[in-house]
Amino acid sequence: MLVAKAKTPLKFSFNGYEFKLKRKEKLLFANDVFALLPKDLQIQFEKAHSVLPPFYEGEDLNGKILLVFAQAAIGDALCMTPALREIKRRFPEMKLWVAISGRARPVLEGLPYIDKLLPHPSPLKEVTKADYLVKAVEMVGKPQFDNMNMVQYFLWKMHLYFAEDETPDVVVDENIKKELEEVFAKIREVSGGKKVLIFHYLASSIHRTLPPRLLKYIEDLIWDEYAPVICSLPEEDITVEVALDVYGIRAANLSSFMKNIKYLIAAISLSDAVITADTATVHIAAAFKKPTVLISGAIEPELRCGTYPTVIPVRPNYKGETCSSPCMIHALEEPCNEAKIKKQFYSPCLDSIPPKVIYFALKDAELACKKDHPKPEKCPLCGYEGNFSLFEVINQHRIFECPSCNLQFAYPFKAMDYNKAYKKEEEKDLLSVSNMDYSWTKNVLEEEKEIEKWEKHPRFNILLPILSVLPKGKLFDIGCGSGNFLLLARKRGFEVYGIEAVKDAVEIAKGKFGLNVVQASSFEELPEEFKGPYNIITAFEVLEHLDNPLKFLQDVYSMLEENGFLLLSCPSFYKFENLAKGCKKYKWWIADFPPHHLTRWKFWTLFYALKSAGFSKIFVFTEPLISETLLDGINPREVEIRQEGGKSIILRKNATSLIVLDAMKSLFFNSQLLGNFQYALAIKGNTNDNWEEIIKRSISYSAAEIIWGREDKI
């Protein structure tokens, strides 16, 4: 911030305001705002020293004046409102003043908790009346702002940290709303009573704007239920009508009605749903609790809508020549580098999103807006009875989290038909566009080659040292597929048995490999000779598919001999990718959602479940953290290294990736809980082996093989 003093009387228009200054009158600027002044106007000011109010650090504000000094775009101002509302709720006897740009001022006007709106730049004589100051001018390009959720950023700046309601506030101009009501009523009438969906495909920069043809694909999917409309602001794009004609889009173009932001607010209030790439639009839609889909390529959408329960974010799954999504580049005036390489205008990461995913996200957003819905009465694992928090809505299912054991589970439970999934029959939901592919269970090699393939796979490679110390005997693999793990175990001297629900997989395991496998969907269906007892039972990626996981573990316990072992795996909740980027709510390409996965397991939840089932010793760990998953969790950038003499070296993304991977190799050998698949070794009874050391060494051996291999080929 800087204080500037007028050298002479001045009258000028700037930042959405009219200023008339006397000689020596002072204004408080954000540094970058002062830099926006025309050069001939800048020289009419001189920098001055003045004592400003102290920065606010959480003091009692009752009876005080707080000035929030901000320079915000429309979306930023909307994200500020939860913090402004919250601070006035906590200190009702305070006075709240806000300095804001003229462009963003309309979205703050009329809010009951703001006592005064000041221009930016602000007259110093007004600023010095405040008892405390909040500096909120570090926007795009500042690390704090770029890496925090926008609502949480402003809560943090005001030392609030949490708010009762973390969705924005907007005020609807009732006169404008009445003006638009006739238009929306006519659209509903002409469309035969369809709901109205606002599609806002323009963003504040080119590389975040959606390809118009995407609207055409989405329009075809929603046409029976929704009448889509375009409500772009006049300054956003003068080519909207041309784009609609070129792609044959039937959406009504209401852009000519959108005279300013207040018209867009009124339009969204009258709509039934929103699909948008524009962040200001998503903040307004969240304020009205509208079913909303935010399509985001460049920026991680959790940073924009993470506190909005009625907004479903959709992310690309894109890795290109120069970037991986999200690239976190906020604003460009031209297409991104990846688009230039591909000789196209729109960002390729946005092109990678299947339109069906956006349609399914819209259906989830509708579900998220329903206030009356089935709620669990009891945790399926620990039996807790009480209130369960809603973690997310995905693929037309609600995921709840137990506050006692932290199990995440779908409610109501609805498991899928795995015979259909195995045959890749079309599913009419999000699974139809995920990468859930069971072809690996059908496209098997000759036995020797099949064993060699799976011995190298991280999922099983980590288990080979553990198998070497487990006592030889009867081993039973639950959900054995076409027998990949059974082949590894048989090679190492175990007497192997397996159960599999999918008929075709059982036929491969028995016919091609001669494995002792039976088709069954429950233990009750097992032939007598398959009911145990067993020295070892394995269940890899089974637990997350079950609607009664505790009973399953109890049944496994009863089928084990005394001093027997259970070795199981499931997806890791805290794998490195999730820790690095946050738990993604719409990771549609992974299929970690119902009806495929019914539960999600934190490592202490898995420990609790096994302890409750009766196991006396339990060890939880993951496969090694490997290079592919490390780069899924971070996004190395191009780096410029400046040398003495003014020369510089540009390290491209591939080079920085190699540097990061090399620097973090120690993690590959020592990260016991960061890998993709989470394992548990549970013991019925007692053994004297040092399992912690065995597991630690297994991770190290596996990491070495994955990174460098054994180098023992002739």
Q: Map tokens 């899928």 to a residue.
A: 416
pLDDT tens-place string over residues 478-497: 999 999 999 999 999 999 99
| Measured distance CA(402)–CA(606) in Å, rounded | 13
- What pLDDT is stored for residue 657 in this prediction? 80
538 lies in some domain = yes
Residues 529 and 619 both lie in one domain? yes
Q: Rounded to whole angstroms, what are the CA distances from 503 to 169, 514, 518, 520? A: 55, 15, 9, 9
H/E run at residue 475: strand 474-478
pLDDT tens-place string over residues 411-452: 998 877 777 666 666 567 888 887 777 776 778 999 999 999
- What pLDDT is stored for residue 317 in this prediction? 83
The pLDDT > 70 percentage for the chain reads: 96
Running DSSP on this structure, what letter comes out for residue 226? E
Residues 71 and 160 both lie in one domain? yes
226-230/195-200 β-pairing: parallel
**Would you say residue 194 has pLDDT above 90?**
yes
Residues 407 and 420 both lie in one domain? yes
Residues 636 and 585 both lie in one domain? no
Reading the block at residue 297, the tokens are: 């390529």
Q: How many other CB atoms are found less than 10 A from the CB of residue 688?
A: 5
pLDDT tens-place string over residues 307-366: 999 999 998 888 888 788 888 887 777 888 889 999 988 899 998 899 999 999 999 999
- What pLDDT is stored for residue 345 in this prediction? 87
What is the extent of the structural domain holding 351?
174-369
Q: What mean pLDDT is predicted for residues 583-595?
A: 74
**Would you say residue 556 has pLDDT above 60?**
yes
474-478/534-540 β-pairing: parallel
Say if CB 648 and CB 622 are below 8 A apart: no
361 lies in some domain = yes
| Measured distance CA(370)–CA(387) in Å, rounded | 18
Q: What mean pLDDT is predicted for residues 231-246?
A: 73
- Peptide bond connecting 168 to the previous residue in cis, omega within 30 degrees of 0: no
374 lies in some domain = no
pLDDT tens-place string over residues 515-555: 999 999 999 999 999 998 999 999 999 999 999 999 999 99
- What pLDDT is stored for residue 212 in this prediction? 84
Q: Rounded to whole angstroms, what are the CA distances from 597 to 324, 397, 571, 594? A: 27, 11, 10, 5
The values of phi and psi at residue 470, to 5°, are -75, 145
- What pLDDT is stored for residue 362 in this prediction? 96
502 lies in some domain = yes
- What pLDDT is stored for residue 587 in this prediction? 67
| Nearest CA-CA partner of 523 in 481, 551, 483 | 551
Residues 418 and 546 both lie in one domain? yes
Reading the block at residue 85, the tokens are: 């509302």
User: Of 114, 138, 169, which closes a domain?
Assistant: 169
Say if CB 171 and CB 91 are below 8 A apart: no
pLDDT tens-place string over residues 676-703: 899 999 999 988 889 999 999 999 999 9
Helix 74-90 to helix 279-287 angle (10° resolution) is: 40
Model confidence at 713, pLDDT cuts 50, 70, 90, reads low
- Long-range CB pairs of 182-188 (<8 Å, 24+ gap) are 183/254, 183/257, 184/267, 184/270, 184/271, 187/227, 187/229, 187/252, 188/227
Residue 242 or residue 114, greater confidence: 114
495 lies in some domain = yes
Strand locations in 517-644 (E): 517-519, 534-540, 560-571, 599-600, 617-622, 639-642
**Would you say residue 238 has pLDDT above 80?**
no
| Measured distance CA(285)–CA(654) in Å, rounded | 39
| Nearest CA-CA partner of 693 in 703, 685, 701, 683 | 701
Burial grade of 485 (CB within 10 A; 0-12, 13-18, 19 or more)? buried
Running DSSP on this structure, what letter comes out for residue 675? S
Which residues does 524 contact at the CB level (< 8 Å), separation at least 6? none
Q: Number of folded domains in the chain?
A: 4
Residues in the chain: 714
Say if CB 544 and CB 597 are below 8 A apart: yes
Residues 483 and 541 both lie in one domain? yes
376 lies in some domain = no
The pLDDT > 90 percentage for the chain reads: 67
Residues 153 and 184 both lie in one domain? no
Computed over every residue of the chain, the mean pLDDT equals 90
Q: What mean pLDDT is predicted for residues 16-37?
A: 94
**Would you say residue 241 has pLDDT above 90?**
no
**Would you say residue 580 has pLDDT above 80?**
no
| Measured distance CA(6)–CA(26) in Å, rounded | 6
H/E run at residue 65: strand 65-70
402 lies in some domain = yes
Q: Rounded to whole angstroms, what are the CA distances from 440 to 167, 376, 423, 437, 541? A: 45, 36, 12, 7, 15
- The separation between the first and the last C-alpha atoms of the chain, rounded to the nearest angstrom, is 68
- What pLDDT is stored for residue 6 in this prediction? 96
Residues 148 and 182 both lie in one domain? no
Reading the block at residue 233, the tokens are: 């602001």
Residues 581 and 473 both lie in one domain? yes
Which residues does 37 contact at the CB level (< 8 Å), separation at least 6? 14, 45
Residues 273 and 230 both lie in one domain? yes
- What pLDDT is stored for residue 582 in this prediction? 58
- What pLDDT is stored for residue 335 in this prediction? 87
**Would you say residue 581 has pLDDT above 70?**
no
377 lies in some domain = no
- What pLDDT is stored for residue 239 in this prediction? 63
Looking up residue 259, the CATH number of its domain turns out to be: 3.40.50.2000
Residues 678 and 653 both lie in one domain? no
Reading the block at residue 402, the tokens are: 């137990």
Looking up residue 388, the CATH number of its domain turns out to be: 3.40.50.150
User: Of 135, 169, 203, which closes a domain?
Assistant: 169
Model confidence at 273, pLDDT cuts 50, 70, 90, reads very high
Residues 575 and 637 both lie in one domain? no
- What pLDDT is stored for residue 311 in this prediction? 96
Task: Report the DSSP beta bridge partners of residue 146.
Answer: none
Q: What mean pLDDT is predicted for residues 221-234?
A: 90
| Measured distance CA(275)–CA(194) in Å, rounded | 16
The runs of H, that is alpha helices, within 167-228 are 174-190, 212-222
User: Of 140, 169, 198, which closes a domain?
Assistant: 169
- What pLDDT is stored for residue 236 in this prediction? 64
